[in-house]
């Protein structure tokens, strides 16, 4: 059966059960890719530049000849690599998906080779560029969001995990961004993805979340900027109009939770994080917070920081249009994820879901 070119919806549907091969260069893949994709570059970064330059200066045919010089010696290895990918697939299959940047010569070259060898090959019409258009379209859609709010230290992320464990549909923005949102948000986290890769993962997570038509999708209340990445504007606007379940946890409980979570972090990194917010925190509070930290008085240091973040979050919460009608307050005596998740689930009828 010849190579088939299919649209993005069909391509992503098949990618759930079949290997997806990204033949772009390693640099292109490293910057951003379809989350399920396996990197099988037709050219190295340097080879891609040479072929691209030849295409512009000498024309298509000369570029193809140079490309064949690079591709030829790799053919056997690439076939064997694809065989290894399919080796443990159950049930046994010889179906693969292939894409490049625009659905042009690179994907066509590998698709020809794999088809010749006996694989069933599908290529993506429009390539990765078509996928990116699909990604951006996901952020324009309407979603049944419920936002989990609460001051810093309320254990919102833990409650989200507990809600997910209980069968609720959750999209963990901080996990996708690899950042907890504040100036201290990168501590203990892996490096953040590029903005493009964050968008890709977020779009796929939203698609997966909507698969079973959930009554609601839970998100944590976030600023539009999470570390070095931004929530897409259209999606952010949808979030700002969604109902908010506010975890109202006492200050002392939140403070001890923060001390336990961040007190184990290297002091140097904590000090650097405080310095990053010194203009908004103020000179005196910055000085005191750092001094308390150096004296191992984490409670007093974090108390200063927590009061700052409480003020900052309260202002952001009230900046929502019609915020008073969107927010449902949940009095939570402690930072206990299981109890607080149960409280929210048991109070579902009181949540202003009609406002989403």
Distance CA 340, CA 36 (A): 34
Non-local CB neighbours of 321 within 8 Å, separated by 6+ positions? 240, 241
Beta-carbon contacts of 213 under 8 Å, excluding residues fewer than 6 positions away, are: none
Q: What whole-number distance in Å separates Cα of residue 341 and Cα of residue 164?
A: 10
Active site residue 100: yes
262 DSSP assignment:
H
What the block records as the tokens of 320 is 């929502």
The residue annotated as part of the active site, out of 100, 216, 245, 332, is 100
Kindly report the length of the chain: 356
163 SS3 class: helix
Please give the Cα distance from 119 to 100 (Å, whole number): 18
338: Cβ–Cβ under 8 A, 6 or more apart, which residues? 162
Q: Which residues are catalytic?
A: 100
């Amino acid at each position: 059966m010849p190579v088939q070119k299919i649209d993005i919806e069909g391509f992503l549907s098949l990618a759930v059960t079949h290997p997806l091969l990204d033949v772009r260069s390693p640099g292109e893949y490293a910057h951003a890719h379809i989350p399920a994709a396996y990197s099988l570059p037709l050219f190295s970064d340097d080879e891609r530049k040479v072929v691209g330059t030849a295409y512009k200066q000498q024309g298509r045919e000369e570029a193809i000849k140079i490309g064949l010089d690079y591709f030829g010696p790799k053919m056997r290895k690439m076939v064997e690599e694809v065989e290894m990918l399919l080796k443990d697939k159950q049930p046994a299959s010889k179906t693969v998906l292939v894409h490049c940047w625009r659905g042009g010569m690179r994907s066509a070259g590998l698709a020809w080779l794999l088809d010749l060898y006996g694989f069933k090959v599908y290529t993506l019409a429009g390539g990765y560029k078509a996928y990116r258009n699909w990604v951006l379209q996901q952020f324009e859609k309407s979603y049944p969001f419920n936002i989990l709010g609460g001051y810093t230290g309320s254990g919102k992320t833990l409650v989200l995990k507990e809600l997910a464990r209980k069968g609720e549909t959750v999209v963990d923005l901080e996990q996708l961004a690899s950042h907890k949102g504040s100036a201290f948000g990168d501590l203990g986290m892996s490096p953040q993805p590029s903005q493009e890769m964050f968008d890709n993962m977020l779009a796929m997570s939203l698609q997966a979340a909507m698969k079973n038509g959930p009554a609601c999708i839970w998100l944590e209340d976030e600023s539009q900027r999470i570390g070095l990445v931004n929530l897409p504007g259209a999606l952010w606007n949808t979030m700002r109009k969604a109902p908010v379940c506010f975890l109202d946890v006492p200050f002392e409980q939140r403070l001890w939770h923060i001390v336990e979570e961040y007190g184990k972090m290297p002091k140097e990194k904590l000090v650097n994080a405080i310095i990053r917010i010194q203009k908004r925190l103020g000179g005196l509070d910055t000085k005191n917070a750092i001094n308390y930290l150096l004296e191992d008085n984490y409670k007093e240091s974090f108390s200063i920081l927590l009061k700052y973040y409480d003020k900052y979050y309260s202002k952001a919460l009230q900046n929502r249009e019609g915020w008073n009608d969107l927010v449902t307050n949940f009095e939570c005596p402690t930072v206990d994820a299981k109890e607080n998740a149960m409280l929210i689930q048991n109070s579902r009828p009181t949540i202003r879901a009609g406002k989403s």
